[in-house]
């Protein structure tokens, strides 16, 4: 005990230096940090929604739209399967009612051939069931998606929506957004520090499905005009009451979009788009075959514009103009870059947290922390004297280490996280209390100070490990099973457990060892 190994001294010194160095940036403004050399640590702990204000949104994926798209896709699959080069299977009344796809064969004798071709549309799922059940009755054939297939499609749509929401939010520059799944069809979005929540809601509410169609010049655009088969009537994006009759066939899809940027053309804000290789070929072919015809640009079932094709566009680039302002063009470019949502997102819940409330929470957390530190420090000094002072030094370093790890990880500190730190302050000296009480017991049986200290640290070690492991298990369960604020509490608690064990077992013992070497006391007052 009177000789603390050099390798341990080096480890303790490095860890303590790390804790202080990486905690200090949290006490400096961001502007001051930007002027520091690159080799110095500049990461700070991010403040969560409840501390710096922001927006809380609970979104729900429109399950009806997901199911309708699934049924539409099944209808297209049936049509393609029955129509083959030189050997079509005649049918009529192909449609779906939202639950079942059905059609009638023109010749009931083709039933076996039709079922054979449709078999490719029915696959075996991991649970052993068919995703589409095919049935027939006297020339009438029905295809019914299973509940498991519908659930799987909805789950995939939610996963895709989460990724697209994340891309859109990242494009806006929000720091440390929290985006996670809740339940089967909901997405929780927490955006700390945003100053324009209405813009975020608009960005997340837009499906951003971009398609290009030919305008049906044979149709009567008047409100009472009949829409020909294979065409549909869509309103203008500018909400000026104007409508267009466009052909339903998609000539080019936004799925093949590679980039979109807001720019200017003739002094007006526009969106410049660029397609990938496949999209460029489709766009070039569509414009080559339809020179002189209007080409409608459709965004979420609204016509942005319908310019006339003056010449083939073969470079895979185009410009979308529609009377945008600068902000509108930037937002549209952002949406197109992030990709289209598989289904609309409905806002079920919205909460805005003001920065003043966050400031109050931070102030309350500081007060609680300071009171906790003072109370623990006074208790330790009153109970253990000099050894209590050493425990307080270890406690201070423990707090530095927690903040340093949170800074390095770029963690988001929330109010429950502050609660975890305050709880850790009380727990941090628990190991020291166990050690010091054990030293007292050894002194009572007549051991020398050196032997009592050795026995105190050695025999308390197992108890300390057991106590912290059990608490750590509870924290891990909270992290795995919990979400949002509960995870934040678990993270700070876990970091605090690890750092408190280090400061109690390593730092405290090193400081006591240094004191013993210098003073060489014959008796101990503890």
How many alpha carbons fall within 13 Å on the CB side of residue 212?
Answer: 27
Taking residue 11's Cβ as centre, other Cβ atoms within 10 Å add up to 14
Judge if 428 and 476 occupy the same domain. Answer: yes
The span from the CA of 20 to the CA of 16, in Å, is 6
Residue 175 confidence (pLDDT): 66
Give, as one character, the DSSP assignment of residue 226.
P
User: Would you say residue 480 lies in a domain?
Assistant: yes
Q: How far apart are the first and last CA of the chain?
A: 18
Give the residue from 150, 185, 220 where a domain finishes: 150
Q: What is the CATH number of the domain that holds 119?
A: 3.90.1070
pLDDT of 1:
45
Q: Which residues of the chain have pLDDT under 50?
A: 1
pLDDT, position 223: 57
| HSE-CB for 295 with a 13 A CA cutoff | 25
Q: What's the CA gap between 524 and 512, in Å, rounded? A: 12
H/E element, 368: helix 355-384
24 shares its domain with 110: no
Asked if 404 and 39 touch (Cβ cutoff 8 Å), the reply is no
Contact predicate 348/60, CB 8 Å: yes
Q: Output the six-digit token pair for 441.
A: 């017991």
**How far does CA 217 lie from the centroid of its chain?**
45
| 142 shares its domain with 274 | no
CA distance 70 to 15: 56
Verify that 134 and 264 share a domain, yes or no. Answer: no
**363/507 same-domain check:** yes
Number of domains in the chain: 3
Tokens linked to 358: 């966050």
The H-assigned helical ranges of 110-226 are 111-118, 147-172, 197-205
Strands 231-235 and 243-247: antiparallel
**Tokens 């059940």, residue?**
133
Total residues belonging to the chain: 526
Last residue of a domain, which of 101, 132, 150?
A: 150
Q: What is the pLDDT, as a whole number, of residue 171?
A: 75
How many CB atoms are located within 10 Å of the residue 376 CB?
A: 19
Note whether residue 199 is domain-resident. no
Strand, helix or coil at 326?
helix
C-beta of residue 237 within 8 angstroms of C-beta of residue 328: no
Q: Which residues 6+ apart lie within 8 Å of 480 measured at CB? A: none
CB 47 within 8 A of CB 412: yes
Residue 339 is assigned to a structural domain of this protein = no
Is residue 217 located within the same domain as residue 136? no
- Token couple for 163: 């990724």
Contacts of 515 (CB under 8 A, 6+ apart): 386, 390
- The answer to the question of residue 197 being in a domain is no
Domain, as residue range, for 224: 211-320
For residues 339 and 336, what is the distance between their CA atoms, to the nearest angstrom? 5
Residues 481 and 383 in one domain: yes
Tell whether 31 is covered by a domain. Answer: yes
- β-pair type (210-214, 252-253): antiparallel
Assign residue 487 the CATH number of its domain. 1.20.1640.10
Say if 196 falls within a structural domain: no
| Angle subtended at Cα 120 by Cα 119 and Cα 124, rounded to the nearest 5 degrees | 85
The residue to which tokens 């054939």 are assigned: 141
Report whether 417 contacts 491 (CB < 8 A). Answer: yes
pLDDT of residue 239: 67
| Same-domain check for residues 21 and 100 | no
Q: For 501, phi and psi rounded to 5 degrees?
A: -65, -40
CATH number of the domain enclosing 238: 3.30.1360.200
Pairing of strands 46-47, 412-413: parallel
257 in any annotated domain: yes
* Listed residues 150, 185, 219: the one ending a domain: 150
Asked whether residue 418 is domain-assigned, the answer is yes
Rounded to 10°, the helix 508-519/386-409 angle is 140
């Amino acid at each position: 005990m009177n000789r603390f190994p050099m390798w341990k001294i080096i480890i303790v010194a490095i860890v303590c230096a790390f804790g202080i160095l990486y905690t200090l940036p949290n006490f400096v403004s961001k502007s001051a940090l930007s002027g520091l050399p690159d080799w110095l640590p500049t990461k700070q702990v991010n403040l969560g929604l409840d501390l710096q204000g922001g927006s809380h949104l609970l979104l729900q994926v429109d399950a009806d739209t997901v199911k309708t798209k699934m049924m539409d896709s099944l209808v297209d699959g049936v049509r393609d399967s029955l129509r083959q080069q030189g050997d079509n299977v005649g049918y009529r009344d192909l449609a779906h009612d939202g639950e079942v796809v059905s059609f009638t064969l023109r010749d009931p004798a083709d039933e076996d051939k039709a079922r054979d071709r449709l078999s490719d549309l029915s696959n075996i799922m991991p649970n052993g069931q068919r995703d589409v059940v095919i049935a027939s009755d006297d020339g009438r054939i029905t295809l019914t998606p299973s509940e498991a297939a519908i659930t799987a499609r909805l789950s995939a749509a939610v996963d895709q929506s989460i990724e697209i929401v994340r891309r859109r939010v990242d494009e806006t520059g929000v720091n440390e957004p929290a985006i996670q799944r809740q339940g089967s069809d909901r997405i929780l979005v927490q955006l700390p520090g945003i100053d324009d929540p209405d813009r975020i809601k608009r960005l997340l509410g837009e499906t951003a499905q971009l398609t290009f169609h030919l305008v049906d010049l044979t149709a009567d655009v008047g409100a009472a005009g009949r829409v020909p088969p294979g065409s549909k009537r869509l309103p203008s994006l500018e909400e000026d009451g104007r409508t267009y009759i466009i052909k339903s066939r998609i000539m080019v899809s936004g799925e093949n979009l590679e980039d979109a940027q807001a720019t200017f053309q003739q002094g007006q804000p526009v969106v410049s788009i660029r397609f990938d290789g496949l999209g460029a070929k489709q766009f070039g072919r569509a414009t080559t075959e339809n020179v002189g015809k209007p080409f409608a640009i459709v965004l979420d079932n609204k016509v942005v514009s319908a310019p006339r094709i003056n010449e083939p566009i073969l470079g895979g680039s185009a410009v979308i103009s529609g009377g945008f302002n600068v902000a509108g063009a930037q937002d549209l470019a952002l949406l197109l870059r992030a990709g289209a949502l598989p289904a609309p997102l409905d806002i079920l819940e919205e909460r805005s947290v003001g920065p003043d409330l966050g400031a109050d929470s931070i102030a309350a957390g500081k007060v609680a922390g300071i009171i906790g530190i003072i109370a623990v420090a006074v208790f330790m000094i009153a109970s253990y004297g000099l050894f209590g002072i050493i425990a307080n030094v270890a406690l201070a370093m423990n707090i530095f280490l927690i903040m340093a790890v949170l800074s390095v990880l770029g963690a988001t500190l929330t109010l429950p996280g502050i609660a975890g730190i305050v709880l850790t302050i009380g727990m941090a000296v628990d190991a020291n209390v166990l050690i010091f009480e054990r030293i007292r017991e050894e002194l009572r049986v007549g051991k020398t100070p050196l032997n009592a200290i050795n026995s105190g640290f050695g025999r308390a070690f197992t108890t300390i490990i057991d106590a912290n492991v059990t608490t750590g298990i509870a924290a891990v369960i909270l992290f795995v099973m919990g979400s949002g604020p509960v995870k934040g509490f678990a993270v700070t608690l876990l970091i605090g457990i690890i750092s408190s064990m280090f400061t109690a077992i390593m730092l405290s013992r090193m400081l006591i060892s240094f004191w013993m070497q210098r003073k060489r006391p014959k008796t101990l007052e503890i």
